[in-house]
Structure 1
Amino acid sequence: MTFPQDPAASDPWSVPAPPPPVADLPAVPGPVIVQIGDMGVTSTVVHTPAGDIPLAGSTWTVHDYWHNETKIPKWAIVAAIAGFCVLTVFSLLFLLVKVTVSQGTVQVTVTNGTRQYVARIPVTDQTQVTYVHQQVNYVRSLAAL
């Protein structure tokens, strides 16, 4: 079985077909204005790993899931063990040293119609939590325009 060949394909002097017109390409939404976790927000669209969500009419919610934990720092444990050989009773005082460590996540949810995406952002202190809340409030104002 033989297939008919395109006569232009066999001609070395033929000109290739032009690319499709630019009107068929989707409109570029613009640069990313705000980056919240793995979501990039432009003036019209929220780019997520699961796909794009329109910004206009979107609903944003924020939930804090972080806590403070009290720990004995590693240097205090090492000092207590090393000092136990020299000053037995006094080296145990290093174990009374405590450090407060904050950790957790802030969960940001964007919803528009049936589309929804949840980003979990790790945080280590209150200033990071406040910063995420400020970013979401700014994006809420953009979504209301």
Structure 2
Amino acid sequence: MTEQNPYQSGAGDWGPGHPPGPSDTPPPGYGYPAAGAPAQGYGFPQQPPAGAPPMGGAPLISIGDIMVMGDQIITPAGQLPLRGAIWNATDMSHTEEKIPTHAIVLAIVFFLFCLLGLLFLLMKERKTTGYIQVTVTSAGRHHQTMIPAHGPETFPAIMGQVNYARSLSSM
């Protein structure tokens, strides 16, 4: 008589003390569909369905939390089609120019010694605050993102990215 492994599955044999049920299919395991067979592909991440377009490769462009990959626009709210998308950018930042406090103090201190201290009042400090708002509309859905402006050069840089995204949408 040959010994059989009690955990080896055969027709009607599901381990010690388990009577065969009405069907000879094993019960579904953790993470498997009810049919007992694994889903398409093994492991994580799951494979896309057979009819889905390929989404591999690196992103073509990323503007804030909006990313363009292949022929799709990927946002936190879902995917939008790239073809025919409408892109807009709005500059909601402003730059202030003022005389810094340390320049005023130096002008007062050196004014007492010589009139050259007044040259410290020519010092200027520029500070940019605010955001650049980028919106995309496609297939009746809308998404917007706000990108912080770190300097006066931020808006032209974002506009360059938006114009590239516009050219991808028109292809």
Same fold by TM-score greater than 0.5: yes
Partner SS, residue 126 of structure 1: coil
Change (3 A) 1:124 1:21: closer
Number of equivalent positions: 133
- Determine the C-alpha separation between the residues in 1 that align with 2:135 and 2:86: 8
Comparing 120-129 and 71-80, the one that deviates more: 71-80
* Higher Cα radius of gyration: 2
Task: Flag structure 1 segments of 5+ consecutive residues without an equivalent.
Answer: 1-10
Question: TM-score w.r.t. structure 2 length?
Answer: 0.61
Name 2:90's counterpart in structure 1.
63
Q: Are 1:19 and 2:45 matched, yes or no?
A: no
More strand by share: 1
Name 1:47's counterpart in structure 2.
74
More helix by share: 1
- Determine the C-alpha separation between the residues in 2 that align with 1:115 and 1:61: 14
Q: Are 1:110 and 2:129 matched, yes or no?
A: no
Deviation at 1:36, TM superposition (A): 0.3
Letter of the 2:81 counterpart: P
Q: Is the 8 A contact 1:43 1:142 kept in 2?
A: no
Deviation at 1:134, TM superposition (A): 0.9
Letter of the 1:104 counterpart: G
- Determine the C-alpha separation between the residues in 1 that align with 2:147 and 2:71: 23
Q: Give % identity.
A: 39
- Determine the C-alpha separation between the residues in 1 that align with 2:59 and 2:7: 45
| More RCO (CA 8 Å, sep 6+) | 1
Q: Is the 8 A contact 2:128 2:150 kept in 1?
A: yes
Q: Is the 8 A contact 1:61 1:108 kept in 2?
A: yes
- Determine the C-alpha separation between the residues in 2 that align with 1:89 and 1:13: 98
Q: Per-residue displacement from partner, 1:96-128 (whole Å, max 9, x unpaired)? A: 743122222211110012210011111122322
